[in-house]
Amino acid sequence: MIRTVLGDIAPETLGRTLMHEHIICDITPPSLRGVPGFDAPITMQSRFDIDYGRKRHTAKFQLLDQELAIAEVASFAEDGGQAIVELTIGGLDPDPVALAEISRATGVAIIMGCGHYTEEFQAPANHDRTVEDFAAEMIAAVRTGAWGTDIRAGIIGEIGCSAPWTALERRVMTAAVLAQQETGASITIHPGVDPDQPAEIIAFIRALGGDVSRTIIDHVDRTIFDTDRLLRLADTGCVLELDLFGYEHAYWSFAPVDMPNDGQRIQMLRALADAGHGDRMLISQDICRLTRLRAFGGHGYGHILRNVAPLMLERGFSAAEVDQVLVHSPRRLLTFA
Ligand SMILES: [Zn+2]
């Protein structure tokens, strides 16, 4: 079965699914939390610069308005969307009760993650915690409930890694592998901005006996910029996720990289599919700031359905290939092994 925030569902009932989004989330950089002065109103005049990222703005990182979230997720349903994987985890202020209410209000299935984000976001007390402690927390999140509620997680992650990868983050990753072995849930991973780190993470998981075929490397489209590396990573048997669709400008405020646009993302997908990896690639938008919502002039959760899927068909993908990415691979990865 597939575990949603409202209970378990049969895999064959899962329709078009976004595998990496945030609906209720606070991803304000820790160094700016509580620092006043970076919360100017988002207006038609200011939204481009706030979204672009050179202008410091903390309020855009707070997706905390439940009524707004309901409207945005309802809009995704109108675009034909059926399910969203919501990966707000430790360090990003997860709110399972809100997710359950949003799912109930919109009819969109929500599959929730568990675990911890990158070290800079983690609670200081995590430095004293053991692998076994982290693993027990993730197993309980899947089996009995997460973050003090009885609402259960359906996937492990996005497990945060920095570049260079820290000792604390390796302990959390080791715990995620133990939780995968215990529960049968897939692991989804936020790698650091280092083109070779995804392969390092996969080797680490393989050495621990984790199931690489049920391990997803997120944010490939801000991490790997050459086809050779892309195909070498796919050859390890892991799942590659291009989850920044809708991010259509080159500037990336978190690292000195030049971002691809949606057309180039589709070319990366074509290269993967042509090399026989069509059933090991996922797409999503990783919405985690207000300016990407429709209410603030952004593309909203439905962008992939409204715009990217038709573009894939125009660029030579078959309907079956698009269905594989949006329906069949999500079903396989979200069904507990
Ligand atoms: Zn991430």
Per-residue pLDDT, 123: 95
Give the pair of three-digit tokens for residue 148: 């003090």
DSSP-based three-state secondary structure for 18:
strand
* Domain boundaries along the sequence of the chain: 2-334
pLDDT confidence band for 55 (50 / 70 / 90): confident
Q: How many angstroms does the Cα of residue 224 sit away from the middle of ligand 1? A: 14
Q: How many angstroms does the Cα of residue 219 sit away from the middle of ligand 1? A: 7
Q: How many angstroms does the Cα of residue 191 sit away from the middle of ligand 1? A: 8
Say whether pLDDT at 7 is over 90.
yes
Say whether pLDDT at 100 is over 90.
yes
Q: How many angstroms does the Cα of residue 114 sit away from the middle of ligand 1? A: 13
CATH code for residues 2-334: 3.20.20.140
Residue 234 CB-density burial (10 A; 0-12 exposed, 13-18 middle, 19+ buried): buried
Per-residue pLDDT, 10: 98
Helix axes 197-207, 167-183, angle to 10 degrees: 50
Q: Looking at residues 1-11, what average pLDDT do you find?
A: 98
Q: How many angstroms does the Cα of residue 144 sit away from the middle of ligand 1? A: 25
Per-residue pLDDT, 170: 98
Query: Which residue in the block uniquely carries the two structure tokens 């988002």?
Result: 42
Q: How many angstroms does the Cα of residue 13 sit away from the middle of ligand 1? A: 27
Considering the chain, what is the average pLDDT of its residues? Answer: 97
Q: How many angstroms does the Cα of residue 218 sit away from the middle of ligand 1? A: 7
Helix axes 197-207, 227-235, angle to 10 degrees: 10
Q: Looking at residues 99-105, what average pLDDT do you find?
A: 98
pLDDT tens-digit series, residues 217-253? 999 999 999 999 999 999 999 999 999 999 999 999 9
Q: How many angstroms does the Cα of residue 22 sit away from the middle of ligand 1? A: 10
pLDDT tens-digit series, residues 306-325? 999 999 999 999 999 999 99
pLDDT tens-digit series, residues 254-278? 999 999 999 999 999 999 999 999 9
Give residue 286's region: left, alpha or beta (phi > 0; psi -120 to 50): left
Helix axes 131-143, 167-183, angle to 10 degrees: 40
Q: How many angstroms does the Cα of residue 148 sit away from the middle of ligand 1? A: 23
Say whether pLDDT at 284 is over 90.
yes
Which amino acid is located at 164 in the chain?
P
Q: Looking at residues 267-293, what average pLDDT do you find?
A: 98
Per-residue pLDDT, 257: 95
Residues 253, 230: contact at Cβ < 8 Å?
no
pLDDT tens-digit series, residues 22-35? 999 999 999 999 89
Q: Which of 235, 243, 224, 146 is nearest to 185 (CA)?
A: 146
Q: How many angstroms does the Cα of residue 87 sit away from the middle of ligand 1? A: 8
Q: Looking at residues 190-195, what average pLDDT do you find?
A: 98
Q: How many angstroms does the Cα of residue 226 sit away from the middle of ligand 1? A: 20
Q: How many angstroms does the Cα of residue 167 sit away from the middle of ligand 1? A: 19
Q: How many angstroms does the Cα of residue 190 sit away from the middle of ligand 1? A: 5
